[in-house]
Amino acid sequence: MPFNLSEQPPRAAKHPSTQQVHGETLIDDYAWLKDNAYPDVQDETILSYLKAENRYFKAVMQPLDGLKKTLFNELKGRISDEDRSVPQRDGAFVYQWAFAPRADYRHWTRWPEGKPDQAAVLVDEVARAEGHENYSLGGLSISFDDQLMAIGEDFNGSERYQISLTNLVTGDALEDTISGVRGQVYWDAASQGFFYVVLDENHRPYQVRYHRIGTAVADDPLIFAEQDPGFYVGIGMSQDRAYLILSVGDHRTSEVRLIKLTDPLSEPTLIAERRTGVDYSVDHGGGYLYILINDTHRNFRLVQTTVDALDAAHWREIESPSERRYLRGVSAFKHWLVVSERRDGLDQIYIRAHDDTPAGHTIAFPEDSYSAGLASNPEYDVAALRLSYTSMITPPTVFEYSISGQALRVLKVLPIPSGYDKTQYKTERLMAPARDGTLVPISIVYHRDFNKHAGAPLHLYGYGAYGFGMSPSFSSARLSLLDRGFAFAIAHIRGGDELGYGWYHDGKLMKRWNTFSDFIDCADFLIEAGYATRGDISISGGSAGGTLMGVALNVGQDRWKAVIAHVPFVDVLNTMLDESLPLTPMEWPEWGNPIEDPAAFALIKSYSPYENTKAAAFPPLLITGGLSDPRVTYWEPAKWTAKLRDVTTGDAPIVMKMEMSAGHQGKSGRYRALEDTSEEYAFLLGAHGLDDA
C-alpha cells in the first residue's frame, strides 16, 4: 500500500476507569481523553495527543500528496467559479446569492423587482469570515417592512450562533446582539422584533424568546420554555406568514403551538397535547390549519381544520396514508396545498386545491429514480413552484412548475465547467434480500464501461438512523471514483425513512441491529450479483453512520478494503450512560436509555463499536473528528482510534484527522471542503492500490 508506515503512530496511555451498571463492570482505558471542561478544551495532555495524531496522519498520507493534488484539481474543475442561485422574488425585492471568483463563501444581494442595476449586498460572507478558520451563516431574515436584517453566524463550528442586525436603509449595524442561540429568527408582523431559540449549557434548544429592537437582550420576554431535558424546541413560520410555529419534540413525540405574528406576546395556542409516539407538524394557509399526524397510521395522515376548531372531533381527513404512501410534509399556499410524500420509496409532490376542486395531481418527473422536493418558495400567492431535483446521474436542477399548466421548466442545472456527459454513466435501483427476508433498496451508479464480475472496486455508503433517508443524488466529486473504475452504491437500510416511517422504526431502539445487518446483507448481495468482490469493498458513513462503520468493522471486516468513518458516534454506551453530556437525554428515544432500562443497556452493549473492538487485522481506517463538535464529541473518535491501534494485529494504517477549529460539519468554505474530499479519495485509491490511476 502506498502509505508511509515508517513512523511510529501515537500511543495513548491507558488509565482504566470503571463504573458499575446493572451489575456489570465497565472498564474504559481511554476515558481520560474526555476534557471535563468541554467545549472549552484546554487540557494540554489531550491537545498534545490530538496534535500528534494529526502529525501522524499527514506523515502516513505524504506519499499520496501528488494524487491528492490531482484529485483536488479535478474536483475544483467541476465547480463553477462564479456559481450563483436563481433569483428569487419575495415581495418587493428579488434575492440572490453568488460566489466571487476563487471565493470560499457567498455574498448575498437583493434589488427592487425589475431593477437589477440597483442590486445591493446584504451579506458578504468572505468579509465576515476573515480571520476565522471556520465560518457558517446559519440564517438570514428580512423584516416584513424590508428595512431590517438579522443574521446568525457561527465562527467556530460549535453550532452556537450569534445574532446581529443591520438597518438596510442606512446600512448601519444595530447594537442588538444575541449569542448562544440557534441561527434563524422570525420577525413579528410589525417588524418591531423577532423570535429566537436559546441553547442551554448542553446545547439543547430549550427556550423561545422575543427581542424587541432597541431593548436590552437581558430583558427579552420568555415566550416558552421546555422543562423536559429529552425534548428540544424549534420555530418556523406558516406559509401564509400569519403564525409563528413553535414545535417541541424528541425522536418519537411532538407538540406544536401557534403564535399570531400580529400579537407576538400573546399566549401560544396549543394544537394537540403531546402523546408518546405521536408525531405531527402543521401549516396554515387558504383559511385552514393543516395537521400532518401519525395518530392512526405510522405513515401519517393529513387533516384539515381551523385554528378555532382544534378539537380532534373537528378534524377532517383529506389525505390518507398506506404502507406504500408515506406523507412527509405539507405547504399551504393561498390557492394550493402541496404535499411532499414517498410512494413505494420514490419522492412525489402532490398538489391539490384546498377544497380538492379540481382534483389533485402528482408532478411527473423525467427519470425513474431520483430525488425531488420543494425548493425555496417564500411567497404565499403563487402560480408556479420552485422545485429541486437530482438523480445519481443528473446534476442538481432547479425546476419551475406551472401548477395550472402542469409543466416543468428548467431554471438551472448545476454547471460542471470541466464537462459532464450523463450518457457516460449508468444508475440502477436494486433490491437486496436481508436475512429476515425484507428487501432493502440499493442505489448504484457506475461508468458505462463498468463490467460486472470483473473485479472492479466498489464503494458502499450507509447511514440508517433518525429517519433520515439517503437520497439517490448526484455528486460531481464522485466522478473521480467512477472515472477510475469504481461503482458507488448507497444502501437504503432500515433506520432511515426511504420506505416509510415504519422503515425508520424498524431500525431504531430494540430493532437497531436491523440497520447493521441490512448493510452487511447489501454488501453480500452486491458481491453475489457481481458488482463487487469480497474484500474489495470500501465503505463510509458519518455521525450515526459512523456507528454503522464501527459495527461493520467489528462483524464483517473480511469484506472491506478500507473504512472511512466521519465524526463517528462509536462510544454509544458511555455516551448514553452520561446524561450530563450534550444532547444525551434527547437521544434516548432513538437509541434507548441504558441507565433505566437493562434491556437497552444490553442491546447497546452488544453493538457499541468502542466496547466491541477486539484484536484483528483491520483494513486501512480513516477516522475524522472535530474539536468543537457538539453532536459527536471529539473524544469518541479519539478513544476509538486509540483502542483500534492498541489491538490491531495487522500493519494497515489506522489514522485520525482531528479538525482543531471545526465541528460536526468539518471545514467550512467550498474549496476548503474539497481538500477534505480529495484527501479522502486519495486514501481510498491508495487502499485499493489505485494511487497511480
**Residue numbers annotated as active site:** 543, 629, 664
List the one residue out of 571, 510, 546 whose CA is nearest residue 26: 571
CB 328 within 8 A of CB 503: no
Helix 670-687 to helix 65-77 angle, to the nearest 10 degrees?
130
CB 32 within 8 A of CB 574: no
CB 597 within 8 A of CB 218: no
CB 540 within 8 A of CB 566: yes
- Find all residues with CB under 8 Å of 516, minimum gap 6, and list them: 548, 551, 552, 555, 607
CB 460 within 8 A of CB 445: no
- Find all residues with CB under 8 Å of 58, minimum gap 6, and list them: none
Amino acid in the structure at residue 304: Q
Establish how many alpha carbons lie within 13 A of residue 258's alpha carbon, considering only the half-sphere containing its beta carbon: 22
Which 3 state secondary structure label does DSSP give 604?
Answer: helix
Burial 517-547 (b: 16+ CB within 10 A, else e): bbbbbbbbbbbeeebbbeebbbbbbbbbbbb
Q: Which three cell numbers stand for residue 513?
A: 441491529
Q: Is 676 left (phi over 0), alpha (psi -120 to 50) or beta?
A: alpha
Distances (CA, A) of 556 to 22, 518, 552, 649: 29, 12, 5, 16
Distances (CA, A) of 439 to 291, 431, 442, 493: 31, 6, 10, 10
Q: Which three cell numbers stand for residue 279?
A: 408525531
